[in-house]
Structure 1
Amino acid sequence: MRPFKILGIQQVAVGGESKDKLRNFWVDVLGLENVGTYRSEKENVNEDILRMGKGAYAVEVDIMEPVDPTKSPKVHDPKLNHIGLWVDDIHKAVEWLSSKGVRFTPGGIRKGAGGHDVTFIHPKGNEESPLCGEGVLIELVQAPEEVIRALS
């Protein structure tokens, strides 16, 4: 039996060469609220953090551009960069998934842009860890207690 539970979608991350067009569409046209920014030279990302919905049911939409488009990771390619999933126990999830052969990206569990503990399932498997996101980067995000209560 799985010792953790995926609770729901936490975020969708969309990349582009420039955030201006993304912001125009997601904020000006669709009306999402801009609730923050995040910039990391190490992760080559400059992003606006948008939100739709309220409370535990809110979903984050991160619009991202590269700090340097010639460097990796290339947050703008593919355009749908990754999806984030709320998980009730990130440590148990990583331990169990790793034991099943799931490949994670380097970096381990760390604080993400939203302040939650996060880790990423690699989009490609390898010989040692063949299970993966099959082309999709998947972020596991530790859900806070109010989200766990609301979505369990």
Structure 2
Amino acid sequence: MKDRPFKILGVQQVAIGSKDKSKLNNLWVGLLGISVNESHTSKDENVVEDICSFADDKLAVQIDLMEPFDVSRGPRVDNPALNHIGLWVDDIESAFNWLSSKGMNFAPGGIREGASGHRVCFLHPKPSQTHPLSGEGVLIELVEAPKEIVRYFKLQSEG
């Protein structure tokens, strides 16, 4: 669609959940060698997470290892285990407004600051009565890319 006022730049993160994050840390940090860059807890979003990557680079795909803050309530970040995929977007306001106008169902919360400090919003995995478009079974996070990442991808596309 040529009228799209934003551009998806690439994969920003893959978020993986478990009831017990220590098992994820054993696999990803202990066995596979990923580094924990920071940790984040949000009671409101019911998540305790470690934000990890294999490289110290703004373009490195982030791997988020997550467990519920409280297993007795939702949302449950451990179900499904592959919780969501995050995509860099150059203009989150344009993406949110344009996709909304097309009928996209967004998860509650709108555009807000995410765990890594970037502005984010989530495409809901399921449609609703009033919003017939969705992530088709996948929770998709749109993550507003910092200016240097937008510039990098622009230079790459210009060749």
* TM-score (norm. length: structure 1): 0.97
Instruction: Indicate the residue corresponding to 1:31 in structure 2.
Output: 33
Shift of 1:57: 2.1
What SS does structure 2 have at the residue aligned with 1:55? coil
Q: Flag as ranges the 4+ runs of structure 1 deviating above 6 A.
A: none
Aligned mates of 2:90, 2:57 — CA distance in 1: 16
The equivalences for 1:40-59 within 5 A come to 40-59=42-61
User: Cα offset for 1:29?
Assistant: 1.1
What is the aligned-residue identity percentage? 56
Give CA-to-partner distance per residue, 1:10-38, whole Å, 9 cap, x none: 00000001111100111111111100000
Aligned residue number for residue 84 of structure 1 = 86
Residue 56 of structure 2 is aligned to residue 19 of structure 1 = no
- Counterpart CA distance in 1 for 2:97 and 2:131 is 13
Q: Distance in 1 between matches of 2:22 and 2:70?
A: 16
Match of 1:116 in 2: 118
Report the Cα offset of residue 52 of structure 1: 2.3
> 2 CA distance for matches of 1:137 and 1:75?
11
- CA distance in structure 2 between the aligned counterparts of 1:15 and 1:56, rounded to whole angstroms: 23
How does the TM-score come out when normalised to structure 2?
A: 0.93
- Give the superposition deviation at 1:83: 0.4
Task: Report the more deviating stretch, 44-53 or 78-87.
Answer: 44-53
Partner amino acid, structure 2, of 1:115 = G
Matched residue, 1:97: 99
Q: Which runs of 5+ in 2 are unaligned?
A: 155-159
> Hey, what's the Cα distance between the residues in 1 that align with 2:56 and 2:88?
15
Q: In the comparison of the two structures, how many residue pairs are matched?
A: 152
